[in-house]
C-alpha cells in the first residue's frame, strides 16, 4: 500500500473520530438531562452513576482516538518529513 494512502487514512480517521468525540461531548453537555432520561427508561440508574459512566466512556474514547489515530498520523508525518529529507521517495 502506498505511504500517502496510509497517511491519508490515519488523518481522516483522526478527523472523523475527533468529530464524533466533539459531537458526543456536546450532546452530553447540552442534552444531558434528555439523554439521562432516555437511558433511565431502559436501565434504572442514578444520575450520579450515569454521569460517572459517561465521563469514563468519553475519556476512554478520547484515549483510544489519540493512541490509535492521532499518534500514528503524527508518526507518519514525521516519517514523511524524514523520507523527503533523505531523498527516499
Task: Find, among 3, 9, 2, 4, the residue nearest to 69 by Cα.
Answer: 9
pLDDT in the model for residue 88:
65
Structural domain count, the chain: 1
Phi, psi of 88 (to 5 degrees): -75, 130
Grid cell for residue 45: 440508574
The number of angstroms, rounded, from the C-alpha of 36 to the middle of its chain's C-alpha atoms is: 22
Give the domain range for residue 79: 3-86
pTM, full prediction: 0.80
Q: pLDDT tens digits, residue range 2-45?
A: 888 999 999 999 999 999 999 999 998 998 888 888 888 898 99
Amino acid at each position: 500500500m502506498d505511504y500517502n494512502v496510509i497517511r491519508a487514512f490515519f488523518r481522516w480517521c483522526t478527523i472523523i473520530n475527533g468529530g464524533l468525540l466533539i459531537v458526543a461531548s456536546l450532546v452530553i453537555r447540552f442534552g444531558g438531562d434528555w439523554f439521562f432520561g432516555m437511558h433511565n427508561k431502559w436501565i434504572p440508574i442514578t444520575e450520579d452513576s450515569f454521569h460517572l459512566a459517561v465521563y469514563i466512556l468519553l475519556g476512554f474514547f478520547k484515549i483510544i482516538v489519540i493512541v490509535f489515530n492521532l499518534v500514528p498520523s503524527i508518526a507518519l508525518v514525521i516519517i514523511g518529513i524524514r523520507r523527503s529529507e533523505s531523498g527516499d521517495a
